[in-house]
Amino acid sequence: MTAYEFFKDFAGPIATVTAAGVAVFVTLKLGRRQAAAAERQSETARNKLMADIFDRRFSAYEAAMKTSEVALFEDSDQRLSNPDFHKSAYAAL
C-alpha cells in the first residue's frame, strides 16, 4: 500500500478529524477570551459600585457636617427656629 492509496482512502476521515480539532481549539480560545472579558467587566462593576456607595456616604457626611456647622458656629437662633431649615437639613441627611 502506497502513501497515495492510504491518503486516497482516508482523506475524508483525516479532514474531518482535523477540522474538529481546529474547531475545538478555536472554541477554547474564544471561550477563554470571553471569560477574561467577563471577569474584567465584573471587576469594573464592583469598583463602580464601591465608588457609588462611597459617594452616597460622603454626601451624607457632608450634609451632617454642614448641618452641625450651621447649628454650632453660625448665628443660628433664627435658623434653628425656622422649620424650613429643619426640613432641608433632614432631607439632606
Interval 5-49: pLDDT, tens: 888 888 889 999 999 999 999 999 999 999 999 999 999 999 999
Residue 4 lies in a domain: no
What does pLDDT average to over the chain? 83
Q: What pLDDT was estimated at residue 18?
A: 95
Q: What pLDDT was estimated at residue 35?
A: 96
Do 7 and 14 contact (CB within 8 A), yes or no? Answer: yes
Q: What pLDDT was estimated at residue 47?
A: 96
Q: What is the rounded distance in angstroms from the CA atom of residue 74 to the CA atom of residue 68?
A: 10
Q: Give the predicted TM-score (pTM) of the model.
A: 0.52
Split at pLDDT 50, 70, 90, the class of 64 is confident
**How many domains, in total, are found in the chain?**
1
Residue 1 lies in a domain: no
Residue 43 lies in a domain: yes
Q: Which domain holds residue 82?
A: 10-92
Helices (H) and strands (E) in the chain, counts: 3, 0
Q: What is the rounded distance in angstroms from the CA atom of residue 42 to the CA atom of residue 84?
A: 44
